[in-house]
Structure 1
């Protein structure tokens, strides 16, 4: 499901048929609409790691540029990783980073014109983008035991989703 509009307003599960078998939702009869979804999440890091990101001093390279590429790639490939997700025509992906003293927040906006929404794509962009940040800085974040005691990702959520009829 790449959308969420497929719900009926009650407690029915849209990806399960009458016999309990998993199925992809048929959106073929739905009209095309313009859709937009925004998702965000935050990775918490040490202050020294965030400073290295800001100064572009991470040994693996430009953390935010690499995370941006990862986020866009994830958006474009969401249908390959979420089992019941439709392949949609992505018309736009925008990534925005907010770098604070001990965290980096990523906001991903996805646009499409089609029969189903794009919030799963926005969420995939956020999670992959933040995982890319983690991968780029993991050497700096490890403690003496090779663990990540303070590093974590949280707040991943859909901020907004919109649907407009085509004119």
Structure 2
């Protein structure tokens, strides 16, 4: 029998059985970013991107992505999310960086890290999609888990912020 949790006795992929795990409140905060040029930054903050309100569309896309994570990541369980919150802030000192923070919450038997990470990624991808006609040189990332609570493995908080924060 494999010691890996996502393999069955034949060494084939499986979705882990979580029926015996206790329901607890679980949260995850994931972050991502996208670096844009000055023109894109100005067009986003002045709502001049031809495809529409970039941050509003990105926010809705992120929420939708969190809810559909199990359809995208093969071993993720479908979850009844209790809350998804997405916020944006800019750094404009040397570069123009949109920072994306996603908070996901549920009460269940498995964590929401993948939902938060998927939402953060899709937010950044949506910004790229909406602005690519202006400049295709945007850079996405890093994308990472900042913290999580709940579950048998306990809480996690990234001890050192990722560069650029």
Q: Report TM bin, short chain.
A: 0.7 to 0.9
2:20 is equivalent to residue 29 of structure 1 = yes
Query: 1:155 — aligned with what?
Result: 142
Task: Return the TM-score normalized by structure 2.
Answer: 0.86
CA distance in 2: counterparts of 1:126 and 1:47, whole angstroms:
22
Query: 1:132 — aligned with what?
Result: 126
Residues 31 and 120, structure 2, Cα contact 8 Å, conserved in 1: yes
Greater relative contact order (CA < 8 Å, ≥ 6 in sequence): 1
Task: Return the TM-score normalized by structure 1.
Answer: 0.85
Query: 2:100 — aligned with what?
Result: 106
Query: Structure 2: any 5+ residue segments left out of the alignment?
Result: 153-165
SS at match of 2:20: coil
CA distance in 2: counterparts of 1:49 and 1:99, whole angstroms:
12
CA distance in 2: counterparts of 1:86 and 1:164, whole angstroms:
15
Number of aligned residue pairs: 148
Query: 2:87 — aligned with what?
Result: 96
CA distance in 1: counterparts of 2:142 and 2:117, whole angstroms:
11
Query: Structure 1: any 5+ residue segments left out of the alignment?
Result: 1-10, 142-147
Displacement after TM superposition at 1:164 (Å): 6.8
Q: Runs of at least 4 residues of structure 1 off by over 6 A? A: none
Query: 1:7 — aligned with what?
Result: none
Residues 29 and 103, structure 2, Cα contact 8 Å, conserved in 1: yes
CA distance in 1: counterparts of 2:3 and 2:39, whole angstroms:
48
CA distance in 1: counterparts of 2:106 and 2:79, whole angstroms:
7
Query: 1:144 — aligned with what?
Result: none
Query: 1:14 — aligned with what?
Result: 5
SS at match of 1:155: coil
CA distance in 1: counterparts of 2:20 and 2:53, whole angstroms:
45
